[in-house]
Amino acid sequence: MKRIFLDVDEPLADFVGAANTFYGVDIPKEEITKWELPYGRYGKTHNSFWNGLTEDFWANMPKQPWCDALVDFLESQEGYSVCLLTAPYHNNATGKQRWIRKNLPKFYDEKRYLIGPAKSFCAGPDSILIDDRGKNCDDFVEAGGRSIVFPAPWNSWGDCKDLLEVVRMRFNVIKRKLLMSETCICKIDRYVEFMPLKIHQGRVDNPDCPVHGV
């Protein structure tokens, strides 16, 4: 079973909108073009911004309008299992659990969620991370997985308007690549399985070559 790890903040929950409401400001998301938030515009420092966010803040973030459609698309992919993967901030794990239970109860009930900062530890050749932070995606790929950067103004896909279409398109590209890899592996496995017979029958020119004749 292949695995899809899906980030929560921004791909599924409107963190920026919730922060605007919580701190009483109106900063358009399009103006946040770097990963590090413009804390001064919130009247905060880095530490005071994050420390000020309460458990209820995390639990009550609005669901993104495309949240259900994105989850439904990923859940419909045969041979793939979807797990939510979100990083904790200053002991907010309980608030995030409450958000999942309220907005995506199936994932909560089936315990298909992970809360931890080291997302790359979930990487593997059959694993895909969908995340709005480019660095998380780069680290995941470096650890042996595959990734899709969820479009946002603070990453390289910020100009995309149809977010779901971008995810669908890039997911289908990865899906085809995985299928091609599986096909090649099956051919090599089949060749290796019959290698002794081919050598015995004198049908292999160079038995030292592991993929000769594939």
Nearest to 3 by CA among 127, 142, 150: 127
pLDDT reading at 206 higher than 50: no
Q: Smallest Cα–Cα separation from 98: which of 57, 42, 152?
A: 57
What is the edge-to-edge ordering of all strands in the sheet holding 127-131?
113-115, 80-86, 2-6, 127-131, 146-149
Average pLDDT over every residue of 70-78: 97
Mean pLDDT score of the chain: 87
Higher pLDDT, 19 or 90: 19
- Give the per-residue pLDDT at 182: 60
Look at residue 100 and tell me whether its pLDDT is greater than 50: yes
- Residue 190 scores a pLDDT above 70: no
Residue 87 tokens read as 């990083």
Nearest in space to 58 (alpha carbons), one of 17, 20, 15: 15
Give this prediction's pTM: 0.83
How many other CB atoms sit within 10 Å of the CB of residue 32?
A: 18
The whole-number pLDDT of residue 161 equals: 80
User: What stretch of H or E contains 93?
Assistant: helix 93-103
Average pLDDT rounded to a whole number, residues 86-99: 91
Mean pLDDT of 188-203: 44
pLDDT for 155-186, tens place per residue? 988 888 889 999 999 999 999 988 887 665 44
- The β-bridge partners of 131 are 149
DSSP label at 86?
Answer: E
Question: Residue 163's Cα: distance from chain center in Å?
Answer: 14
pLDDT of residue 160: 82
Start-to-end C-alpha separation, the chain: 26
pLDDT at 199 over 80: no
Residue 204 confidence class, pLDDT cut points 50, 70, 90? very low
Q: Residue 100's CB: how many other CB atoms inside 10 A? A: 23
- Is the separation of the CB atoms in 5 and 150 below 8 Å? no
Instruction: Give the chain's domains with CATH numbers.
Output: 2-176 (3.40.50.1000)
Are 108 and 101 in contact by the 8 Å Cβ rule? The answer is yes
CA 16 to chain centre: 19
In b/e form, how buried is each residue of 126-151, taking b as 16+ CB within 10 angstroms?
Answer: bbbbbbbbbebbebbeebebbbbbbb
Alpha carbon of 2 to those of 123, 126, 174: distances in Å? Answer: 11, 5, 12
Note the pLDDT tens digit of each residue in 6-60. 999 999 999 999 999 999 999 999 999 999 999 999 999 999 999 999 999 999 9
pLDDT tens, position by position, 117-135 = 999 999 999 999 999 999 9
pLDDT the model gives residue 178: 84
